[in-house]
Amino acid sequence: MVSTMHKNTDDAVIQYDRIPDKKGRKIAGYLLLVPLLVGIIVLVSAITVGGEIGAVLRLVIISLALFIVVALPFGIILFFKKIYAPGAIFDERSGPDGIGVPDEIRGWNWAAAFLSIYWGIYFNVWLVFLSFIPIVNYFVWLWFGFKGNEMAWRAQGWPSVSEFKRVQNKWRPWGILVAGLGIAVILIGIINSVFYDDNNGYYSDVQSNRDNQERALGSVIEKTFSIEEKNGTAEALLYIEKERIAFESRPDYAFILDAVGYIIKKDYEKMDQMFQKAVGASDGYVDYRKVAALIRTSQREGLFPWDISGYAIKYLEKHIDDYPDDIVGYIDLSRIFIRDTKEPQKALGYMKIIENADVSGLDPDDQSEYYWALCRSYMDTAQIKIAYGHCLYEAENFPSHSSINNLGVINEQLGNLQEALESYDKARKLLPSSELYQKNYDRIISKLDGREDY
């Protein structure tokens, strides 16, 4: 039994006895123990029962667990709730049949406003369940804040105004705390939203500027190669020197232009030094893969000798050392060994590392290159049967004149001449300008003409 001592208006000492609410504890037990016991029984059943029934039982367990988590605060409140002992004398103005509400208790109630559901259950103010009604719940807290004291005064009997205030004041700090936390969360959300929008715009602008700069760099490099081809080395170098000024804010790009100049001069050691400086100054925005791609772009244009492939290989090998999970790095490296240096065995070595990788998240062009590299690396190392699976998959899922022609080569080597003819025919129709595809087609026609079953 808990006793509390207070003075009435005549300064006489009044003792109020408060005892645990047996009804509240019983409800708390139902809220917590019954779902827990049922959950244990269902859990045991779910472990022993499989199939669809087991799946349903597991869903029941999850539902019960969620219910217990939600019911826990209510159960705790009801378990520790106390009521006045039988025989207590109440102020005649309090309770459902009270004759009025004293002016002294009117005013704002922090707990009623911000702990509405818990406060209401504790003080038998059942209107708090309006909080569960959509839209209405936006206004209930305000109503309870202004009228909560009056509701609590009328919901049950109170020995005195001072006792009522004492009990309500115990809840007050918790209501203020929750209100403060709520306001803090709202302010943080508003600030974060404002700054996020600004930063998003800022980062978009930065990325846009970076993309624009990269496109501008690409245009300068492309034009440099064009000038070299048409007007010679001297004019190309003058053009680089003039355009370099525009990239002074990006030293990594300036170094790349210097490297392009040395490519034109065919001074590949200094080209290498400039690329190293570019990577060092790039803060991660220019990586070894981009450097290797730049070298190979110059090679594909036919402007510079293929012997600088070694530098591209070196940069890509460094790249996959730094990023061993970058599938595209392995593809790029294998492509050089297949197309440029004619070292399919090395290509196969790198492709075997990623042969079983999940490439579904890659760009479709990179997926196509992945299967092309597997097809060619096995085909060029005379492992035709393994190559066939990769070539067939590429031709069916990423059809192109190249993939279809490769499938024709595989079928020809396997002796499937009719299938090879069909592939070569498709390839030459997709790229009529290709002399190679036409020769492949003519060759199969000749072979088939010499067969009796054709």
In this prediction, residue 211 has a pLDDT band, given cuts at 50, 70 and 90, of low
Encoding tokens for residue 235? 């004019």
Q: Which residue type sits at 386?
A: I
Q: How many CA atoms lie within 13 A of 408 on its CB side?
A: 27
Provide Rg for the chain, Cα atoms. 40
Q: How far is CA 6 from the centre of its chain?
A: 60
In this prediction, residue 302 has a pLDDT band, given cuts at 50, 70 and 90, of very low
Distance (Å, whole) CA 261 – CA 236: 8
> Can you give the pLDDT at residue 419?
92
In this prediction, residue 206 has a pLDDT band, given cuts at 50, 70 and 90, of very low
Mean pLDDT of all residues belonging to the chain: 79
> Can you give the pLDDT at residue 290?
59
Range 116-128 average pLDDT: 86
In this prediction, residue 205 has a pLDDT band, given cuts at 50, 70 and 90, of very low
* Among candidate residues 371, 307, 373, the one with its CA nearest the CA of residue 338: 373
pLDDT in tens, 391-445: 999 899 988 898 899 999 999 999 999 999 999 999 999 999 989 999 999 999 9
pTM for this predicted structure: 0.43
> Can you give the pLDDT at residue 337?
87
φ, ψ dihedrals at 220, nearest 5°: -65, -45
Helix, coil or strand: residue 3:
strand
Least confident range from 41-55, 132-146, 295-309, 348-362: namely: 295-309
Q: How many residues does the chain have?
A: 454
3-state secondary structure the chain: CEEEEEECCCCCEEEEEEEECHHHHHHHHHHHHHHHHHHHHHHHHHHHCCHHHHHHHHHHHHHHHHHHHHHHHHHHHHHHCEEECCCCCCCCCCCCCCCCCCHHHCCCCHHHHHCHHHHHHHCCCHHHHHHHCCCCHHHHHHHHHHHHHHHHHHHCCCCCHHHHHHHHHHHHHHHHHHHHHHHHHHHHHHHHHHHHHHHHHHHHHHHHHHHHHHHHHHHHHHHHHHHHHHHCHHHHHHHHHHHHHHHCCCHHHHHHHHHHHHHHHCCHHHHHHHHHHHHHHCCCCCCHHHHHHHHHHHHHCCCCCHHHHHHHHHHHHHHHHHCCCCHHHHHHHHHHHHHHCCCHHHHHHHHHHCCCCCCCCCCHHHHHHHHHHHHHHHHCCCCHHHHHHHHHHHHHHCCCHHHHHHHHHHHHHCCCHHHHHHHHHHHHHHCCCCHHHHHHHHHHHHHHHCCCCC
Least confident range from 95-99, 147-151, 169-173, 203-207: namely: 203-207
Encoding tokens for residue 120? 């209401």
φ, ψ dihedrals at 249, nearest 5°: -75, -10
> Can you give the pLDDT at residue 4?
40
Distance (Å, whole) CA 6 – CA 14: 6
pLDDT in tens, 371-388: 999 999 999 999 999 989
> Can you give the pLDDT at residue 8?
41
Contact 379, 398 (CB under 8 A): no
pLDDT in tens, 223-252: 887 888 788 888 888 888 888 888 777 787
> Can you give the pLDDT at residue 388?
92
Distance (Å, whole) CA 103 – CA 105: 6
The residue among 289 and 167 whose pLDDT is bigger is 167
Q: Is the pLDDT of residue 297 over 70?
A: no
> Can you give the pLDDT at residue 198?
43
* Among candidate residues 422, 449, 453, the one with its CA nearest the CA of residue 437: 422
Q: Is the pLDDT of residue 108 over 90?
A: yes
> Can you give the pLDDT at residue 224?
82
pLDDT in tens, 124-141: 898 888 888 888 888 888
Range 47-74 average pLDDT: 73
Q: Is the pLDDT of residue 304 over 70?
A: no
Contact 295, 259 (CB under 8 A): no
Q: Is the pLDDT of residue 2 over 70?
A: no
Give the Cβ contact number of residue 48 at 10 Å.
9
Contact 353, 330 (CB under 8 A): yes
